[in-house]
Structure 1
Amino acid sequence: MSPVPKRAGVLFDSGRMYYGRLPRAIIGGSALLLAGILLAIFITDALQSEPVAWTSIACALILITFLAFGFSRIQVLENEVRLRWFPFYRRRIPIAAIRRAAPATVHGLRYGFGLRFGAFGLGIIQDTGPAVQLDAGRGYLLSLGSADRQARFLAALAAAGVNVQRF
């Protein structure tokens, strides 16, 4: 992966982070299952007898295919942190609102993947592995995919004046 070019005022830019191997396998398996069901509907001529069912399955297949191309991007600027989970979520968090940041780890599917809500707050989970927990009134769990990216993100937060807990 090539480093993301530096822009003025950007202390950290994760670049586009896509789903890891396990989430891609789950999404792919779901898409294949729905495509198989649609094929069975076409083969058995159930189109006329159950139009709502095949339309619902086709819509679910389109949604899952759309979500398969989802990515997250995390940026630290001098005065804010920008979170993005394509296609549905964008958030700007002022640096002054972040009380602390701490390293974390996402294990398996404990948190799920994608945009998640839980006891940890809001999670942007693309893959298992290194992550960062932000405390900004409500919590954020941000998966970063690599230890290098996690270290650079924490260093950028520290440079911006956030209280960063070490490993």
Structure 2
Amino acid sequence: MTPELEQDRDSKFHELTVALRAALQQIRTDPGLPASVAQVARMASCSRGLLYTDDRRWVVRRIEKIKKLRRLRDKKVHENGAEADKVEGGVPAQLAAMRRENAQLFHECKALKGELRAAQDENEQLSRNLKSSEEQLYALREEVRRASGGDAFRRRTKGS
């Protein structure tokens, strides 16, 4: 294949990838659009069969994820609707409860971010300590090798 043809093929592959990602994004954000391979194919102007090839199977997996997320969302909406009927005060009380939960989650998130920063700092310190220890170990091995004429360390490691 000539470089020009290969470049043209790569360009078309990239253009289709962009169109597929745009279609998936639109399907993800618009619940009115069906989450199906056929819908993506229509929106990206390609065949459905193309989306089942090895290079494009990721589209099918993403569609399945979108379907799963929609089912979960619908289930939550149904459960929340049933709970709203049970909650005294109805929707305003449920909204207040959600705001309290949101505030609690915000503070938990903030605390977890602090813990993550502390863990990352500790990890960096441990990495520095490990590197220093490895350097010391190397230096000591070299010193032992020089002191014993280079044979003692090798004999000990061979016998292990």
Question: Which TM-score band (shorter chain)?
Answer: under 0.3
**Which structure carries more relative contact order (alpha carbon 8 Å, separation 6+)?**
1
Name which one, 1 or 2, has greater alpha-carbon Rg: 2
| TM-score, scaled to structure 1 | 0.25
Q: More helix by proportion, 1 or 2?
A: 2
TM-score by length of 2: 0.26
